[in-house]
Structure 1
Amino acid sequence: MQPPAPAPARTLRFGANYTPSRGWFHHWLDFDADEVAADLDSIAALGLDHVRVFPLWPVFQPNRALIRPRAVEQLVALVDAAAERGLDVNVDGLQGHLSSFDFLPSWTATWHRRNIFRDPEVVAGQEEYLHALAAALAGRPNFLGMTVGNEVNQFSGPPHPDPDPVSPGEAGRWLERMLAACERGAPGRLHLHAEYDAVWFRDGHPFTPAQAARLGAATAVHSWVFNGTAQRHGRTGAATEQHAAYLIELSKAWAADPHRPVWLQEVGAPAPLIPPEHAAAFTAATLAAALDCPDLWGVTWWCSHDVSRDLADFPEPEYGLGLLANDRRPKPAAAEVARVAAAWRGRAHRPPARTTALVLDGGGGPAAPGRAACAPGGAFFEAWAVLAADGVRPAAVLAEAAADPAHLSARGITEVLRVRDVVRRPRSDT
């Protein structure tokens, strides 16, 4: 057998999800180029190299047959302003869902209520919209590519109060069609899709781990420890500080490419589970653990600027998640992100392989029926956390791949453990 190909050395990317300091994402309604420039200056001053930006779908496409030229021009102006400051840009198309608010155009709601994943006219409108944004930016060298939308899987089932039901097969075909529209608009860019963690944790959820880990140019993971992790393990528990690393490694269990890039596209320090005075320490620990994962594309912190207290009805944790305050002053967590970004600037990222893998039983198959075991409190999650606390650097492997020498070799895995093995494993502190 040939030795495994080494993981490619990548230059890590460090960025922020751009939340405007004035007006939040409602800034598209009265776009102010000077305010945007000042925001981007404050992001660039941290030494970051990219931003992820969020056009609001109803603002950009208020009618199925109308993609507003002026809105697209403003998006292009934002991308150009970012280029002037050395920042690359990823654009999320279908917004979709942001910070507990849904933004759907009126032609999908109430009297025009149609399933956003199934209705042929709605899907054709989405396809045209994503193509239009990608095509408008295709000539910009600092345009990284499109993300289909922000956590659009949350519309597909519980706990959404008015879901758009879809089957796994339909969800996969929808994703393929949206990604193809992005590729036609801007060939060869980094086009991907992104889901919230139900894709990894919820049995029966129609968006599947295999879709997340195989469709598009990279796998996106969004890491939020308010999902039960910090509640169970505390702010300094290994499961909490390594939650982002856990999702990165969990995603690789379903990847067909052993070195598929994984983008930690959202991660933040949510109060009160991570109190503000401990946000910098949590940030440092989270980044250290994530950067210990092979095949990491980069980290994009959520978010750039705090949500203004002048805006109403946000969940309390959303107001303080920024690296920068509303007056654009950096907060302590920003210093940690800037420090790590500076330390890695120009360096090749090739951490050693994670040679020990934990086996996920029931994770394979089209529906991934064993996903609940991967959620906080689940047997797989908790066993992974035990290994991480013991310094093992665990990877994850599906049961059907655990007996495949070629698969294990390609990933550098030399030891395979099952959950029951972890229960019996001697602890490092005994």
Structure 2
Amino acid sequence: MLRFGVNYTPSRDWFYSWLDPDWAAVRRDLEAVAALGLDHIRVLPLWPVVQPNRTLIRRRALRDVRRVVEIAAGAGLDASVDVLQGHLSGFDFVPSWLTDWHRRSMFADPDAVAAQARLVEAFEEELHDLPTFLGLTLGNEVNQFTSAAHPTPMPATTEQVTSWLSALHGAGPRDARHFRLNAEYDAVWYADGHAFVPSHSSRFGGMSVVHSWIFNGTAQGYGPMSHESLHHAAYLVELSRAFAVDPGRPVWLQEVGAPLNHLSEEQAPDFCEGTVRAAADCEALWGITWWCSHDVDRRLGDFPDLEHSLGLIGADGAVKPIGRRFAELAAELRDRPRPASRREAVVIPVDGADVPLSRAELSPGGGVFEAWMERARAGARPALVTSGIAADPAALGARSVERAAPAAPTGRTFYTSVSDAAVLERPGLYAEDAEDAPTFSPL
């Protein structure tokens, strides 16, 4: 069964509601989500609320998270929970023991890593007995903190990231029915020099996670309703699968949305449908979790404007046209037959550590991206494989791939890792390498 759900954005006071939860509002929100025929939510607590001091984990905050999962269950919804938030909708929520006078890298400082590992286990202890609890994601796109695009980065090497992931994954969930995952934004795939590498995303935990946003250069380079934009999420699912050791490893499209800084409100439902149908044709896909449940109320200040329009449900509680379309797609595709295996693949050149020789060539505008899109546009169903897999007939056979062809490099990228126009106006902060910054107009 293909899972369909939403990233739960509280209608009352956004995620600031964790400071003082309104349980009646939470119940209304989740009953509205369930009424769309969806089956799960992703819950995103705020890290400083749960662990305001390195050695203090607030039990009341953990109980509040547990109560949201219980309310979701009462509405007929399963729930996954994130641990480190981290970053949400253009705002960072990092505890004070990592910033300013106490500044240290969450990835490289031993005391900080140990504190995060304790928090992961505290969430596990609080939630593992709930029958509708799906599992934990370590955090929301925290790889952004290692990026040169971040105004106050926390530097880390790829080796330190590996150690950090190993420490936080630990022995994994205590119950085999649950998952423990990590979720990165797309610099892991598209940005050369980024400390997180594709194998981090595709080889830790029991399932891979991708987040698909077309404001990353796809919409700018090809158009918001282009074939490339509508197939971007499917491309990421296949890209993630290329780096998995196990060909049967599932991939969760954990975030995808319709950003109105590129799409019009009238285009959003059709964008949703095209994206969902393309992704549902990926045999590895576990589920699609839309960003997000509710629009951010416009009485809250300083959000990028697009954040006020990403919900399936408006701030007034009314289901939007995109919400109705997503509900219809969920009803139609939930029990779809498992898609056939993909028989041809585009090859990704990698080094001996399975790091792409050029991640820019995987990005929008790059040769691998364009070769995959060209074959998909022609009616083929291309996969992606690394050059190591392509050189091993047995490994190709295990993936049911009969033909694997290299892509011609383009030597260009449209990729940008920042979507907020206010940030893009600050020179040097909108690309992993300012010298390689894309030349299209800002978002």
TM-score above 0.5? yes
SS at match of 1:104: coil
Which of 363, 368, 387 is the aligned partner of 1:399?
387
What's 2:427 paired with?
A: none
Q: Does the Cα contact within 8 Å between 1:95 and 1:104 map onto a contact in 2?
A: yes
Mapped partners of 1:146, 1:421: distance in 2: 38
Cα distance, 1:322 vs. partner? 0.4
- 2:396 maps to 1:415: no
- 2:204 maps to 1:215: yes
- 2:334 maps to 1:309: no
SS at match of 2:211: strand
Give ranges in structure 2 of 5+ residues lacking alignment: 411-443
TM-score, normalised via structure 2 length:
0.90
Q: Deviations over 1:114-161 (max 9, x none)?
A: 111111111111111111011100100100000000001000121011
- 2:144 maps to 1:154: yes
Which of 227, 232, 240 is the aligned partner of 2:221?
232
The percentage of aligned residue pairs carrying the same residue is: 50
What's 2:168 paired with?
A: 178
What's 1:66 paired with?
A: 56
Mapped partners of 2:36, 2:233: distance in 1: 22
Q: Does the Cα contact within 8 Å between 2:354 and 2:386 map onto a contact in 1?
A: no
- 2:131 maps to 1:121: no
How has the CA–CA distance of structure 1 residues 168 and 421 changed in structure 2, closer, same or farther, with 3 Å as cutoff?
A: closer
Mapped partners of 2:124, 2:314: distance in 1: 31
- 2:297 maps to 1:300: no
How has the CA–CA distance of structure 1 residues 330 and 414 changed in structure 2, closer, same or farther, with 3 Å as cutoff?
A: same
Cα distance, 1:367 vs. partner? 3.9
SS at match of 2:266: helix
Give ranges in structure 1 of 5+ residues lacking alignment: 1-10, 423-430
- What is the RMSD computed on CA atoms of the aligned residues? 1.5
Mapped partners of 2:95, 2:171: distance in 1: 19
Q: How many residues align?
A: 410
SS at match of 1:300: strand
Q: Deviations over 1:74-110 (max 9, x none)?
A: 1111110001111111101000011111101111111
1:3-402 maps to which residues of 2 (within 5 A)? 11-180=1-170, 183-184=173-174, 188-345=177-334, 347=335, 349-362=337-350, 365-402=353-390
Moved more, 376-385 or 95-104: 376-385
How has the CA–CA distance of structure 1 residues 364 and 318 changed in structure 2, closer, same or farther, with 3 Å as cutoff?
A: farther
Mapped partners of 1:338, 1:403: distance in 2: 43
How has the CA–CA distance of structure 1 residues 333 and 257 changed in structure 2, closer, same or farther, with 3 Å as cutoff?
A: same
Counterpart amino acid of residue 362 in structure 2: C
TM-score, normalised via structure 1 length:
0.93
Counterpart amino acid of residue 33 in structure 2: I
What's 2:433 paired with?
A: none
Q: Give the number of the structure with larger relative contact order, counting CA–CA contacts within 8 Å between residues 6 or more apart.
A: 1
Q: Deviations over 1:195-227 (max 9, x none)?
A: 000000011111110111111110000000000
How has the CA–CA distance of structure 1 residues 57 and 275 changed in structure 2, closer, same or farther, with 3 Å as cutoff?
A: same
How has the CA–CA distance of structure 1 residues 63 and 421 changed in structure 2, closer, same or farther, with 3 Å as cutoff?
A: closer
Mapped partners of 2:184, 2:377: distance in 1: 27
Q: Deviations over 1:219-273 (max 9, x none)?
A: 0000000001011111221111000000001111111000100000000000131
How has the CA–CA distance of structure 1 residues 363 and 304 changed in structure 2, closer, same or farther, with 3 Å as cutoff?
A: farther
SS at match of 1:89: strand
SS at match of 1:107: helix
